[in-house]
Structure 1
Amino acid sequence: MKITRRGRRHAAVALSAVLLTTMATACSSGSSGSSGSGGTTASGTYQIWDPYPQFDDSSAWVTLLTKCGTDAGVTVKRTGYDTSDLTNKALLAAQQGNSPDVLIVDNPVVSTLAEAGVLTTTDETKIDTSAVEPNLLAAGQFDGKTYGIPIGANTLALYYNKKVLDAAKVDPATIKDWASLTAALEKVKAAGKKGITFSAIGTEEGSFQFLPWFWGSGANLTQLGSPQAVAALSLWTDWLKKGYAPNSVINNTQTTSWQEFATGDFAFSENGTWQLANAKKTGFEYGIIPIPSQAGGTAPAPTGGEFVTAPVQKDTGRYATAEKIISCLTSSDNALTTDTTLSYVAATDAVQQKQVAQNPELKVWVEAVGAAKGRTSDNLGTKYPKISEPMWTAVQAALSGSQSPQDALTAAQSTAAK
């Protein structure tokens, strides 16, 4: 029996809601969101839902949304939700048949919504993604189709404290691989300072921070127990055993990890683009280098950031106007302003170059984003949450000493395979 797209959407929504419990944003901010009724309220009104409740109606972001609606000849009604709240509401709205016209969601959620039949493809809506960097666009692709366009991206790198490294006689430019980084940490400890802090908490944040080392070893998410994966987890475990990283990383979020670095006692902090403003407030001279891979070069770090998508509508005639609004939001001129506001690296090379011209400090972030990859890339889609949770559980077990890296990851692979 042939199952219609609408039928697939209703059947998959309940399962998708369960999968979303492990898809917490690794890098977005915002707390409670405002309420919204969903759907369209009038023929000339288009609904936009976004995960930026921190921006009110007077903000540059909402001003842009309003302008894009006006340019398209319609009125925009915008609702900002907390990220986790937004994805659940998007699933419910799809089930009830009153989805917003434009939905901006964290990139790992795209494949879940796509599989549930909630989103249109860019082929259906005629959204032009040709200028988007392929590694960033991949986070919004599932089964060979593209379900939106990134509004920008962020990722991870290593912040360093210049004073601490100078005291340890470490030149950050010499750190090119795991061996040189570990040697630098050894010198820092010998100089009486602390080495590196990161987040290894048992949530998606822990997986997000482990992935550069995991991928940097050459490991694949479908083989959690591989020798390469064990090498990555052994690296972190050895750092704790030797005192190069504090035991607090086991419970650290990315925020608390940053707070440790901000004390001025640590040489390095693995953290994201979103900490740039806070870095300027630390009171000490800092720098940023890419996270190195095991053999050398920049490790692939996971991409954070949101995709602008167009949910399925009963009235397909609405797609043309939705496309105009989305194209406006992601145009080069508007993306430059928006990505600067959100501390994002742009999704296109042309805008990235403009960002670096305005702020040379972003050069290292453009390099990191260029090497980054989506957590749901490699067509993992909705399989990713089922892999991520066993992975962060393995990291917790190894760092706490309850299991060896090999045993922890072998168990993780067994769990993921189920």
Structure 2
Amino acid sequence: MAVALAAVTTLALSACGGGSTGTSDAGASGSGAAASGTYTVWDPYPQFDDSSDWVKLLQKCGTDNGVTVKRTGYDTTDLTNKALLAAQQGTSPDVILIDNPVISTLADAGALTDTQTLGLDTSAFEKNLIAAGEVDGKTYGVPIGANTLSLYYNKAVLDAAGVDPASVKDWASLTAALEKVKAAGKKGITFSAIGTEEGSFQFLPWFWGSGADLTKLDSSQGVAALSLWKDWLDKGYAPNSVLNNTQTTSWQEFATGDYAFSENGTWQLGNAKKTGFEWGVIPIPAENGGVAPAPTGGEFAAAPVQTDTARYATTSKLISCLTSPDNALATDTTLSYIGATQAVQEKQAADPELKPWVEAVQGAKGRTSDNLGTKYPKISEQLWDAVQAALSGSKTPQQAMSDAQTAAASATS
């Protein structure tokens, strides 16, 4: 578990964030709490206080099941560390809302209870989303919603360049659009290629969209994806600032109104409405056409292991309440998530602003899918290092990916 604690620090939140750290009476989740009917919940949403719809839902789910919910919100990275320490000390909460790529780390550390043991029905959840919680044939928790990446565009910039966003169908047509935008005196595309999980998160649609696989970083497809980004920088279609851009600073560049495109996520919808210019969203294209698989962000509702297994029955009811279609729709709206079930997605798709995001999530993929589990953080670190090396010019895309594959194979063997 100490090893898991060290490894998990590389998995910074890629899709959404929280604020300041809170505190919790971790002991409330022990067997003594069962008699008082108190169940503890930890989540990564410290920005929501007791007056928020999210906390009211938690409290209602508790009341509906005859218990009191004691909730604490933590910063995402802090939450993961505390979850591992609590498992070590036997002071885990009853329910935890945790960033989906961390599920495999907690499960591998023996800190989570699988859904079969809980008696939790997972059949309604979309397979590509719940796959992020599958480890060695068992499922640990269920998604409360998901977010992912697409391309925002500035209509005025594209109009000035004579580009119809609907014409962007593959890498070639996107690059041609960027060429026209630059020729028109505007800026092309901004994204995050920073040397953290955010950089890997943003590179994955292009990597997967080439047909590449995370177990072979140096395939011709993977090299092609990295070469695409490198060519954009060399030709001035993307700024050198992408090397240090987080998803937030990348968005701030797009919000200036100078850029044609921004690779960013569902969580920027509110900010998009504040830009003051007309914008839209299109899927990230795969190399040869179609929608590229983008990585899923968002949290899973999971149950940490408890000494008093009698608590699991109520824990399962609490998780079912939080993820039921009616409650999930309200929660996903609050968190700017797309639903994890078909029922919620169908309701959201009726909103023109959400429809392209529903389609993107339907084609998305979990970072720890393909049974990568705890191997993913080690591979991801080598991937973002390769992106940094190639874009900075210290290595060719081929050399960067070859070195990354060698390091990743060593780290995961």
Assess same fold via TM > 0.5.
yes
Aligned partner of 1:66 among 18, 38, 59: 59
Aligned partner of 2:16 among 28, 43, 68: 28
Distance in 2 of aligned mates of 1:301 and 1:199? 14
Distance in 1 of aligned mates of 2:52 and 2:8? 29
Q: TM-score scaled by structure 1?
A: 0.96
Q: State the secondary structure of the residue aligned to 1:287.
A: strand
Aligned partner of 1:413 among 401, 405, 410: 405
Partner of 1:275: 268
Opposite residue 288 of structure 1, the aligned amino acid is V
The reply on whether 1:127 has 2:115 as its aligned counterpart is no
Opposite residue 318 of structure 2, the aligned amino acid is I
Alignment of 1:16-415 (within 5 A): 16-39=4-27, 40=29, 42-43=33-34, 44-357=37-350, 359-415=351-407
The alpha carbon displacement at 1:412 in A equals 0.4
> Is the 2:348–2:358 contact (alpha carbons within 8 Å) kept by the matching residues of 1?
no
CA RMSD of aligned residues (A): 0.7
The alpha carbon displacement at 1:360 in A equals 1.7
Distance in 2 of aligned mates of 1:28 and 1:360? 22
Distance in 2 of aligned mates of 1:295 and 1:346? 28
Q: State the secondary structure of the residue aligned to 1:381.
A: coil
Distance in 2 of aligned mates of 1:26 and 1:417? 24
The reply on whether 1:15 has 2:3 as its aligned counterpart is yes
Opposite residue 381 of structure 1, the aligned amino acid is G
The alpha carbon displacement at 1:21 in A equals 1.4
Opposite residue 305 of structure 2, the aligned amino acid is V
CA distances 1:332-372 after superposition (whole Å, capped 9, x unpaired): 00000000000000001111111122x22111001100110
CA distances 1:272-331 after superposition (whole Å, capped 9, x unpaired): 000000000000000000000001000000000000001111111000000110000000
Opposite residue 406 of structure 2, the aligned amino acid is S
Q: Which has the higher mean CA deviation after the structures are superposed, 19-28 or 132-141? A: 19-28
The alpha carbon displacement at 1:32 in A equals 1.4
Distance in 2 of aligned mates of 1:386 and 1:392? 10
Distance in 2 of aligned mates of 1:408 and 1:37? 47
Q: State the secondary structure of the residue aligned to 2:39.
A: strand
Q: State the secondary structure of the residue aligned to 1:79.
A: strand
Q: Percent identity?
A: 75
The alpha carbon displacement at 1:31 in A equals 2.1
Q: TM-score scaled by structure 2?
A: 0.97
Distance in 1 of aligned mates of 2:302 and 2:367? 18
Q: State the secondary structure of the residue aligned to 1:361.
A: coil
Distance in 2 of aligned mates of 1:114 and 1:411? 30
> Is the 2:104–2:133 contact (alpha carbons within 8 Å) kept by the matching residues of 1?
yes
Distance in 2 of aligned mates of 1:27 and 1:363? 19
The alpha carbon displacement at 1:128 in A equals 1.1
Opposite residue 42 of structure 1, the aligned amino acid is A
CA distances 1:226-275 after superposition (whole Å, capped 9, x unpaired): 10000000000000000000000000000000000000000000000000
CA distances 1:67-101 after superposition (whole Å, capped 9, x unpaired): 00011100110010000000110111111111100
CA distances 1:28-73 after superposition (whole Å, capped 9, x unpaired): 2212121112142622100000000000011100000000001110
Distance in 2 of aligned mates of 1:31 and 1:335? 22
Opposite residue 392 of structure 1, the aligned amino acid is W
Partner of 1:10: none
Opposite residue 365 of structure 1, the aligned amino acid is W
Distance in 2 of aligned mates of 1:230 and 1:42? 54
Distance in 2 of aligned mates of 1:30 and 1:116? 24
Opposite residue 98 of structure 1, the aligned amino acid is T
The alpha carbon displacement at 1:186 in A equals 0.4
Opposite residue 286 of structure 1, the aligned amino acid is W
Opposite residue 147 of structure 1, the aligned amino acid is Y
Distance in 1 of aligned mates of 2:216 and 2:322? 38
Q: State the secondary structure of the residue aligned to 2:77.
A: helix
Q: How many residues align?
A: 405
Partner of 1:6: none
Partner of 1:7: none
